[in-house]
A and B are shown apart, each in its own frame.
Chain A
């Protein structure tokens, strides 16, 4: 069967299961005695095994199989969860993750060899066997194994057997061997079945009944049945049929595997549910994610397409508004207003569909922090909050790397080693806080540590050494400005380059990446207390509110999220300070930026009164001088394309109601 069509589903599901395994493992490390976590991990590896085997990924299947074995004996309390076992499970998890990543990029598992992991798992399993020889569990175990291997009872059989037991019926496994010289084995078998069915219920046969009818069996077959009759009666009955060589009736001892069977039934039922989900492509994963409700998996491309269509609709709506205004027909305007309401709701709805909780990015960090803290010998507590904050899918894809970078920085450079912390009178364990929250049209993500803070003098010194600034310049810099230097290309404060961070790419990469998705990053730091990196991101990247302005006859759009206020200023009030035009505004010096100069538009004669659009970037403000204000409008952001990307001061383009293109100012780059 062609499995390719299921590949996407497999990868998505596998990733989801890995995620939940990761979470559970981390939890398990904290509370190794928690049985429900063990069960959870067991279930996940079991499901993964099934999925992988179906898709023909044997390495994945065999590794999960071994994991399952190990988890099984842990669950039975035969061995205790130790740090080594957790580490081993994490290693297995890494291997699984690599397999899945390989599958998603190349379609096969890749060359990663997990034999040593399987070996280690086996060693632990065997070690347990030796240790447990004296344990009576073993006898139970082996009996179970035998039963399972012989009869392969599935959940239905087990269920019926259980019920039968409640009704005081006996359960037997009947092995029948037909004589060699029998000509019509199928017919003989049919007679046996007939006989048995007359006073018992046949639950399962091995090989299956169809095969037996088709004579697809060698010499014998076995059936599982429940009956009121006794063992001897059945034996006597069968043997009386001619051409039967031998018959053996065995009791099925339900008690022997009652306990584990129940658990296994649960697992199997869960798995069956999972299988069901797979078929309807729903992400409902019973245990881990009941909070998600009913969902449908949709290809992101389709969503993008939908988004584009909504964008087109909004453009047309704007155009209709233009026409409506000029024609001044009552009905027309009403219709347009109605249209506007609908497009706005539609836009909101589509945006919501594209929103993903930031948890998707956050959930890989606990593991990362755990590994880092082990590696560096620093004890780190990671506190996360606001994981449910939703951001656009495109943002999610981009924000991961910058966050990893910041967290690594905090742990490696920010948080001191334990001895130093104790000396400084701090808690030995460092804390890294990762917080996300929505703030108007923005989403804010903060990475905060309680480490040593950033020393602005050190930064200045470093920048001088690296030739980024001169000594004279350094003197002029305020400490905030000095800290801004961190984000300059070619800057890295780490005194020694470590494996974790400081590999040549510094915070400038973080900054560039965040700015590429129209966000920006700031730092707050106190020496000795710690530092906080604040990332501010737009909720959406596709459709925004903007202020349209005129420069001569050109129209530009300024994202409304960065517009603070609009104010007339008198040209007399503009003063020159160190070559920079400023104006005193609300008792603050406000730098003036003449957009005409920046954008190469011929400057108009200075009239007495100028219009200043006051824009913000973090704490900073600047007044942009424009010729005319047009108004506020919902605009659809279009990229300028690869060819023109990176054009100074321009973030993109949008199509106005009349079909012409207007450019969107990149306010952040103006500062």
Chain B
């Protein structure tokens, strides 16, 4: 692996949710959008906020607060964003409180998941990044989205 690859591999899009920083592998992030109107989809998982019209495409949006079972009084504000991610050809938006920056985390800055208990089940987190004293939860997108590929592949 050459140097540029290493650098790109470790770039993360950082966003904030209920006061906590999270990171998404930049390869999974397509675009970040301002919040537009949702259309509720009935009879689906409770954490699915609805679908949005992304330039003519219908994209489902996951409310991460609900997904992570975080009790929060935060409502949609000016800083709220929808991060459009793609994993295995599925486009999905993640609703977050704000999105700030792209960080490069070196290999040694990333710890394996310890017991983090508290609110989020460890499954969603694939590592913890440390940068200037901040702790950044690096998300395992496939688990967050919750599509069981093992079944699909069969």
- Docked Cα-Cα span, A538 to B148, in Å, equals 32
Tell me, yes or no, whether B56 is within 8 Å of chain A by CB: yes
Interface mask (B84-98 → A, CB under 8 Å = 1, otherwise 0): 000001111000000
Closest to A315 in B: B56
Closest to A659 in B: B53
Q: Is the CB of A640 within 8 A of B56?
A: no
Tell me, yes or no, whether A660 is within 8 Å of chain B by CB: yes
Tell me, yes or no, whether A655 is within 8 Å of chain B by CB: yes
Tell me, yes or no, whether B39 is within 8 Å of chain A by CB: yes
Closest to B36 in A: A659
Q: Is the CB of A661 within 8 A of B43?
A: no
Residues of A with C-beta under 8 A to B39:
554, 653, 660-663
Tell me, yes or no, whether B13 is within 8 Å of chain A by CB: no
Q: Is the CB of A643 within 8 A of B60?
A: yes
Residues of B with C-beta under 8 A to A655:
53, 56, 58
Main SS of the interface on chain B?
A: strand
Closest to B48 in A: A644
Residues of A with C-beta under 8 A to B147:
642-643
Q: Is the CB of B42 within 8 A of A643?
A: no
Residues of B with C-beta under 8 A to A663:
39, 41-42
Interface mask (B52-80 → A, CB under 8 Å = 1, otherwise 0): 11001111100000000000000000000
Q: Is the CB of B44 within 8 A of A638?
A: no
- Docked Cα-Cα span, A650 to B43, in Å, equals 9
Q: Which A162-218 residues have C-beta < 8 A from chain B?
A: none
Q: Which A536-580 residues have C-beta < 8 A from chain B?
A: 554
Q: Which of B37, B52, B56, B60 contacts A644 (CB 8 A)?
A: B60
- Docked Cα-Cα span, A662 to B53, in Å, equals 10
Residues of A with C-beta under 8 A to B44:
644, 647
- Docked Cα-Cα span, A643 to B152, in Å, equals 11
Looking at A598, A644, A653, which has the most chain B CB atoms within 10 Å of its CB? Answer: A644
Residues of B with C-beta under 8 A to A467:
none
Closest to B87 in A: A643
Contact flag A649-B59 (CB < 8 Å), given A641-B90, A661-B51, A661-B52 = no
Closest to B88 in A: A642
- Docked Cα-Cα span, A598 to B56, in Å, equals 27
Q: Which of A639, A649, A653 contacts B42 (CB 8 A)?
A: A649
Residues of A with C-beta under 8 A to B56:
312, 315, 655
Q: Count of chain A residues with Cβ under 8 Å from any Cβ of B?
A: 25
Closest to A308 in B: B56
Residues of B with C-beta under 8 A to A659:
53
Q: Which A618-671 residues have C-beta < 8 A from chain B?
A: 638-644, 647-650, 653, 655, 659-663
Residues of A with C-beta under 8 A to B92:
643
Closest to B44 in A: A647
Residues of A with C-beta under 8 A to B60:
640-641, 643-644
Residues of A with C-beta under 8 A to B40:
554
Give, as a whole number of angstroms, the nearest-CB distance from B90 to chain A.
Answer: 5
Residues of A with C-beta under 8 A to B41:
640, 644, 647, 650, 663
- Docked Cα-Cα span, A655 to B90, in Å, equals 19
- Docked Cα-Cα span, A649 to B51, in Å, equals 16
- Docked Cα-Cα span, A312 to B55, in Å, equals 10
Q: Is the CB of B90 within 8 A of A601?
A: no
Give, as a whole number of angstroms, the nearest-CB distance from A660 to chain B.
Answer: 6
Q: Which of B37, B43, B53, B145 contacts A643 (CB 8 A)?
A: B145
Q: Is the CB of A640 within 8 A of B58?
A: yes
Q: Which of B42, B43, B53, B58 contacts A641 (CB 8 A)?
A: B58
Q: Is the CB of A653 within 8 A of B43?
A: no
Q: Is the CB of A641 within 8 A of B52?
A: no
Give, as a whole number of angstroms, the nearest-CB distance from B51 to chain A.
Answer: 5
Give, as a whole number of angstroms, the nearest-CB distance from A427 to chain B.
Answer: 46
- Docked Cα-Cα span, A62 to B59, in Å, equals 53
Tell me, yes or no, whether A600 is within 8 Å of chain B by CB: yes
Closest to B52 in A: A661
Q: Is the CB of A639 within 8 A of B53?
A: no
Q: Which of A643, A647, A662 contacts B90 (CB 8 A)?
A: A643
Q: Is the CB of A641 within 8 A of B91?
A: yes
- Docked Cα-Cα span, A26 to B146, in Å, equals 52
Give, as a whole number of angstroms, the nearest-CB distance from B123 to chain A.
Answer: 18
Give, as a whole number of angstroms, the nearest-CB distance from A665 to chain B.
Answer: 10
- Docked Cα-Cα span, A506 to B92, in Å, equals 35
Tell me, yes or no, whether A599 is within 8 Å of chain B by CB: yes
Known: A600-B43, A655-B56. 6 other contacts (CB 8 A): A554-B39, A598-B42, A640-B60, A642-B89, A647-B42, A647-B44
List of 7 A-B pairs having minimum Cβ-Cβ separation, nearest first:
A648-B43, A599-B42, A661-B39, A600-B42, A653-B58, A638-B58, A643-B90
CB<8 Å pairs between A and B, sample of 27: A312-B56, A315-B56, A554-B39, A599-B42, A638-B57, A640-B60, A641-B59, A641-B60, A642-B89, A642-B90, A643-B60, A643-B90, A643-B92, A643-B147, A644-B41, A644-B48, A644-B60, A648-B43, A650-B41, A650-B43, A653-B39, A653-B58, A655-B56, A660-B39, A661-B39, A662-B39, A663-B41
